[in-house]
């Protein structure tokens, strides 16, 4: 493993420890996979029926050009892509569905969750047209949950209500004209599986339109829905100060790591860790140190100030510190390798969901009704594991970086309203018009073993903020940027161009933050890309232009998960230039690649995909796009 694997100093310290301990990591397994299969990489492998696998020769030099059924390269690629995007959407929709179930049970008093944000409850109910006056929170929450469930039961053929209630009218019209509006999220995901099975759709263009529809399913029945409901249940984030990276683990504490995506469990773990701290002290520890990995980590970071241990690709290293007493996982982005790696240590790996079991893990059945019992059992298991910790194997790297998170749209508007109470967006827009803020980029998504870990996130953002581009971040991208110091109190001073720095200082001071706003605002987990959406809708509405006219770009510098593809598809469908630093498996289909990355999709949706793995070139194109949009707007 001689390549540049990561720029995170904690990772670079931990990898030799892993080697010393004889433990394989994702980077070792990445190397063992080389060279990866060219058919798979280009999307030219089909296993959609038992006559296959069929493969198409990507170079056209004599090998087969169709599968056994006659499917050609663009059809292979379009079908595979639709399945991937549908899988990404399914992940987010399943997540959101559980949050709505929790909302309903909380409203009925059948599950131990509060409705923490009455204002958000009323706002979300209001957008769905539910009258809110003279209703207590519980009955309104029940009505809201029922109204949301009607989308999932919708057999009318009408568009999903949550989408029309949330998305800008201009977008809804565009999508209506293309015939891509989703009806019932479950029905659309089912149909995508049907449409891509053997002997079905043979038209790559029609399959791409269905892919766009899946992007909308993800955006509205996944991202927006999950964020809205989670804010109602757990509160809308406000700025919190903490630290990021493996150094947040503490030698003399019971270290409990929450990992996965859905805060229904992790919020309870945080609550009970605080309540049962005395038991940890009785076991000889100084207390309980909580830490997060991946997006459930982001959820409890945003609302509870729990420090993130690291991002997805480095998850095994948190265990290899020898100091993780329990790793509690719910769903998504959980490497199966955590089973064998935790078995090398005293670490209790605790699975909690019926659809995520890992051989060797302790399974604590998490149900909404008995959430408190499950969380208590988990904390007890962690404290017991702590008692078995081998102190001689503890190797916590010192790295940790101060950070500010918690920038929901409400928090951003709250800070701006200290500058202009009547019209909070005005200072932001005025500074964009004046060029103090050149534009905005949302950096989102994962880390990917194909690239040096964190490098693209960090190098791109370093250049962007120097060029006075305001960055908003979510997911593992946000965690990479936090670790690298872009969310620290001194980040504006260290990284931002002078005009941007002046704006961030003025807002930070007015908002009483005690420091400038960081040039990278942490907006939350991957479902919280909905928050970036809300901000973009608000800017477009303020300027009275379509989203595609804004000097705004989306970027997933190191995408890994299928969810990154479905979020990216949603971003393109909003009208945004959407950068990917890793090429998805589409290059084997020239027509599909052309449609997704060039004028045809710009004509239809206003946005397009743009793939570039060189961070400097990517920033060049992004800045060019932002400047072009500015000049089209006449600013």
Note the residues at the interface with ligand SF4 (CB under 6 A).
Answer: 46-49, 51-52, 54, 67-69, 71, 198
Residue 312: which of ligand SF4, ligand BF8, none does it interact with, CB under 5 to 8 A by kind? ligand BF8
Q: Identify the DSSP state of 219.
A: I
310 binds, options ligand BF8, ligand SF4, none, Cβ within 5 to 8 A by partner type:
none
Q: Which is nearer to ligand BF8, 182 or 568 (CB)?
A: 568
Partner in contact with 446, chosen from ligand SF4, ligand BF8, none, beta carbon below 5 to 8 Å by kind: ligand BF8
Tell me the two tokens of residue 138: 């519980």
Quick check: 280 binds ligand BF8 (CB under 6 A)?
A: no
| Least distance CB 585 / ligand BF8 (angstroms) | 17
Cβ closest to ligand SF4, residue 46 vs residue 480: 46
Alpha helices in 511-584 (DSSP H): 529-543, 562-574
Q: Which does 54 bind (CB under 5 to 8 A by kind): ligand BF8, ligand SF4, none?
A: ligand SF4
DSSP assignment string, 356-378? B--TTSEE----STTHHHHHHHH
Q: Which of residues 313-352 bind ligand BF8 (CB under 6 A)?
A: 333
Contact region with ligand BF8 (CB under 6 A), list: 182-190, 270-278, 533-541, 555-563: 555-563
Question: Which CB atom, from 294 or from 470, has the smaller least distance to ligand BF8?
Answer: 294
**563 in contact with ligand BF8 (CB under 6 A):** yes
**C-beta of residue 256 within 8 angstroms of C-beta of residue 326:** yes
Cβ closest to ligand BF8, residue 174 vs residue 448: 448
Query: Quick one: which of 219, 247, 312, 406 contacts ligand BF8 (CB under 6 A)?
Result: 312
Name the minimum Å distance from CB 445 to ligand BF8.
5
Compare residues 49 and 506 and give the one whose CB is closer to ligand SF4.
49
DSSP string, 73-125: HHHHHHHHHHHHHHHHHHHHHHHHHHHHHHHHHHHTT-SS-----HHHHHHHH
Q: Which does 563 bind (CB under 5 to 8 A by kind): ligand SF4, ligand BF8, none?
A: ligand BF8
Per-residue contact track with ligand BF8, 427 to 456, x per CB under 6 A?
------------------xx----------
Indicate which of ligand BF8, ligand SF4, none lies near residue 46 (CB less than 5 to 8 Å, by partner kind).
ligand SF4
* Shortest spacing between CB 87 and ligand SF4, in angstroms: 18
CA atoms within 13 A on the CB side of 309: 31
CB of 433 to ligand SF4, least distance (A): 53
Do 117 and 144 touch, CB atoms closer than 8 A? no
Compute CA distances 387 → 246, 321, 368, whole Å: 21, 16, 29
> How far, in Å, CA of 545 to CA of 126, rounded?
24
Q: Among ligand BF8, ligand SF4, none, what binds residue 71 when CB lies within 5 to 8 Å by partner kind?
A: ligand SF4
Q: Please report which residue ranges of 294-418 form alpha helices under DSSP H.
A: 294-304, 315-320, 338-343, 371-387, 409-417
Task: List the single partner that 333 binds among ligand SF4, ligand BF8, none, CB under 5 to 8 Å by kind.
Answer: ligand BF8
User: Exposed (0-12), middle (13-18) or buried (19+): which is 38, by Cβ within 10 Å?
Assistant: middle
Q: How far apart are CA 110 and CA 94, in angstroms?
A: 21
Give least dist CB 260 to ligand SF4, A. 33
Question: 538 or 556: whose CB is closer to ligand BF8?
Answer: 556
Residue 18: φ, ψ to 5°: -60, -45
**Smallest distance, Å, CB 59 to ligand SF4?**
18
DSSP H helices, 435-497, are: 455-466, 475-483, 491-495
Q: Which does 605 bind (CB under 5 to 8 A by kind): ligand BF8, ligand SF4, none?
A: none
Q: What are the structure tokens assigned to 514, written together?
A: 């005690």
The minimum distance between CB 556 and ligand BF8, in angstroms, equals 8
Contact present, 462 and 438 (Cβ < 8 Å): no
Partner from ligand BF8, ligand SF4, none contacting 198, C-beta within 5 to 8 A by type: ligand SF4
Contact positions with ligand BF8 (CB under 6 A) in 520-539: 525-526
Q: Which helix (H) or strand (E) holds 468?
A: none
Tokens read off for 57: 């020769």
Tokens of 182: 């989703």
Structure tokens at 570: 């949603």
Region near ligand BF8 per CB under 6 A, out of 114-122, 271-279, 355-363, 560-568 = 560-568
Cβ–Cβ < 8 Å for 93, 152: no
Binding of residue 294 to ligand BF8 (CB under 6 A): yes
Residue ranges of E strands in 392-438: 401-405
Name the binder of 548 from ligand SF4, ligand BF8, none, CB < 5-8 A by kind.
none
289 binds, among ligand BF8, ligand SF4, none (CB under 5 to 8 A by kind): none
b/e 8-35 (16+ beta carbons within 10 angstroms → b): bbbbebbbebbeeeebebbbbebeeeee
- Residues 456 to 515 in contact with ligand BF8, rule: CB under 6 A: 475-476
User: Which pair of structure tokens corresponds to residue 350?
Assistant: 């605790």
Residue 328 beta carbon to ligand BF8: minimum distance, rounded to whole angstroms:
15
Angle between helices 73-107 and 562-574 (to 10 degrees): 90
Q: Which of 187, 450 has the CB closer to ligand BF8? A: 450
Write out the binding residues for ligand BF8, residues 243-272 only, by CB under 6 A.
261
Residues that bind ligand BF8 (CB under 6 A): 261, 294-295, 312, 333, 445-446, 475-476, 525-526, 560-561, 563-564
């Amino acid at each position: 493993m001689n390549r540049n694997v990561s720029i995170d100093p904690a990772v670079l310290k931990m990898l030799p420890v892993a080697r010393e301990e004889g433990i394989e990591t994702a980077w070792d397994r990445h190397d063992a996979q080389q060279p990866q299969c060219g058919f798979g990489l280009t999307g030219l492998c089909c296993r959609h029926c038992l006559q296959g696998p069929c493969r198409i020769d990507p170079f056209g030099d004599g090998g087969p050009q169709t599968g056994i059924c006659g499917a050609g390269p663009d059809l292979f690629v379009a079908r595979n892509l639709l399945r991937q995007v549908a899988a990404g959407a399914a992940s987010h929709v399943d997540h959101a569905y559980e949050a709505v179930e929790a909302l309903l049970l909380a409203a009925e008093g059948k599950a131990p969750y509060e409705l923490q944000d009455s204002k958000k409850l009323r706002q979300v109910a209001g957008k769905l047209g539910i009258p809110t006056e003279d209703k207590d929170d519980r009955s309104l929450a029940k009505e809201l949950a029922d109204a949301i469930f009607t989308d999932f039961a919708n057999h009318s053929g009408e568009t999903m209500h949550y989408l029309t209630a949330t998305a800008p009218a201009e977008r809804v019209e565009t999508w209506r004209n293309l015939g891509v509006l989703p009806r019932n999220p479950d029905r659309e995901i089912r149909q995508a599986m049907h449409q891509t099975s053997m002997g079905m759709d043979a038209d790559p263009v029609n399959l791409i339109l269905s892919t766009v529809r899946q992007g909308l399913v993800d955006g509205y029945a996944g991202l927006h829905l999950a964020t809205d409901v989670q804010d109602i249940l757990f509160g809308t984030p406000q700025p919190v100060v903490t630290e990021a990276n493996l150094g947040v683990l503490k030698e003399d504490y019971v270290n409990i790591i929450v990992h996965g995506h859905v805060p229904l469990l992790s919020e309870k773990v945080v609550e009970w860790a605080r309540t049962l701290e005395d038991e940890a002290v009785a076991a000889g520890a100084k207390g309980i140190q909580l830490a997060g990995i991946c997006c459930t980590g982001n959820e409890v970071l945003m609302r509870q100030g729990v420090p993130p241990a690291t991002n997805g690709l480095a998850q095994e290293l948190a265990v290899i510190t020898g100091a993780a007493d329990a790793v509690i996982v719910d769903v998504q982005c959980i490497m199966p390798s955590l089973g064998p790696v935790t078995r090398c240590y005293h670490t209790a790996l605790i699975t909690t969901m019926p659809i995520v079991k890992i051989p060797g893990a302790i399974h604590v059945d998490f149900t909404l009704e008995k959430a408190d019992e499950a969380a208590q059992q988990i904390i007890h298991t962690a404290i017991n594991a702590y008692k078995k910790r081998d102190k001689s194997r503890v190797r916590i790297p010192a790295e940790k970086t101060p950070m500010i998170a918690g920038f929901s749209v409400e928090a951003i508007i709250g800070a701006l309203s200290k500058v202009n109470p009547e019209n909070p967006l005005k200072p932001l827009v005025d500074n964009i018009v004046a060029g103090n803020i050149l534009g905005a980029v949302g950096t989102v998504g994962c880390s990917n073993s194909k690239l040096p870990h964190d490098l693209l996130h960090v190098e791109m953002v370093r250049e962007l903020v120097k060029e006075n581009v305001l960055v908003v971040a979510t997911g593992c991208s946000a965690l990479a940027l936090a670790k690298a110091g872009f969310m620290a109190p001194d980040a504006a001073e260290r990284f931002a161009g002078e005009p941007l720095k002046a704006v961030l200082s003025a807002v930070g001071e007015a908002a009483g933050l005690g420091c400038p706003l960081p040039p990278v605002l942490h907006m939350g987990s991957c479902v919280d890309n909905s928050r970036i959406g809300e901000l973009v809708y608000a800017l477009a509405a303020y300027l009275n232009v379509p989203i595609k006219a804004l000097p705004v770009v989306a970027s997933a510098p190191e995408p890994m998960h299928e969810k990154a593809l479905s979020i990216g598809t949603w971003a393109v469908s909003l009208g945004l230039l959407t950068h990917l630093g890793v090429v998805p498996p589409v290059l084997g289909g020239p027509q599909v690649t052309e449609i997704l990355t060039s004028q045809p999709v710009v004509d239809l949706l206003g946005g397009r995909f743009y793939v570039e793995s060189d961070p400097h070139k990517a920033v060049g194109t992004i800045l060019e796009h932002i400047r072009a949009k500015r000049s089209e707007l006449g600013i």
